[in-house]
Amino acid sequence: MAPQDAILGWDEDSNAEAYNAFTRDHPMYDATSRDLARRSRLADASLVVDLCGGAGATARAILDLIPARARVVSVDNAAAMQRVGRRTLTDARLTWITSPAERIADHLHADSADAVVCNSAIWKTDTAAVFAAVAHILRPGGHFVFNIGGGFAGVRHPDELSARTGPSLNALIRQVAAEAHGYTPPRDADRPLKLPLEAVTEQLTAAGLTVLGTEVTAQHSTMAEKKAWLSIPVFARPEGDFTHAQRMQILDTAYAMTPPDAPTVTSWLVVVAQRPKAAT
């Protein structure tokens, strides 16, 4: 299942608290955060930027890998998310900056960051502007590591197909909404890909960054975890003119049609880029 393109709503306390509860109770964001942090080569880092860092799930993974003397700056434009993060993550090496990702170069010196990490969010930004800002703050040789939801990048891991034994929870939600409310879902085939690898590569190159590698990964989960994720107001479905209470009722009905431990798989495109080192 590709994540919903949830751009608005993150600066609302209800979403921030629900998101934080999900990251505490379920492994999804922790697993993707640790994967990106591991790829960022942080053993000798002095400064790492957690871009679109939200309540700090990725910052926590970065803090586990950096040296004791290093610093992490978590950047997000949603003050509500950062309020939760400040309350729950109190490591003295972590600093919070409330800012759009596109404006990060306004807050950090040029050539100052050893790595920039962005988990589960890059498609919600003006990527060309973000890539240019990241290139400005990265030191030569510094790494930029991020992931893109498979539905936005147009990729699917083989495990996503082989693990499916019945309708996805999203499909059941659309079915219930159609039967109970006359809902007509949008045609996914009519939607252009939001961020395919070709476009990503072009924009990174234009910003002066080099793609070192890409990988399509699979995140294994269950219907129970997927239901919990879809219960966060900003992710609740279906799209359209529904109240949150109606969406939760539809979700409960759809979920009752599936085994809670049924496997689900989410695909991700992981990109590792670098600011080239200066010629000697």
What is the per-residue pLDDT across 54-111, written as a single tens digit (0 to 9) for each? 999 999 999 999 999 999 999 999 999 999 999 999 999 999 999 999 999 999 999 9
Give the mean pLDDT of 116-135. 97
Report the C-alpha gap between 139 and 274 in whole angstroms: 9
Q: What is the pLDDT of residue 118?
A: 98
239, 186 Cβ separation under 8 angstroms: yes
Torsion of CA 254, 16, 54, 250, to 10 degrees: 10
Report the C-alpha gap between 233 and 12 in whole angstroms: 10
Q: What is the pLDDT of residue 34?
A: 97
pLDDT of 2 strictly over 90: no
> For the chain, what is the mean pLDDT?
93
List pLDDT tens digits, range 15-66.
999 999 999 999 999 999 999 999 999 999 999 999 999 999 999 999 999 9
What percent of the chain stands above pLDDT 90? Answer: 86
pLDDT of 1 strictly over 70: no
List pLDDT tens digits, range 138-147.
999 999 999 9
Give the mean pLDDT of 199-211. 98
CA end-to-end distance (rounded Å), the chain: 46
Burial class (CB in 10 A: 0-12, 13-18, 19+), 5: middle
Please tell me which residue, 6 or 39, carries the higher pLDDT value: 39
List pLDDT tens digits, range 177-193.
999 999 998 776 567 88
- Output the CA torsion sign for 250, 255, 258, 263: positive
Q: What is the pLDDT of residue 186?
A: 78
Q: What is the pLDDT of residue 5?
A: 54
pTM for this prediction:
0.93
Q: Could you say which DSSP state residue 115 is in? A: E
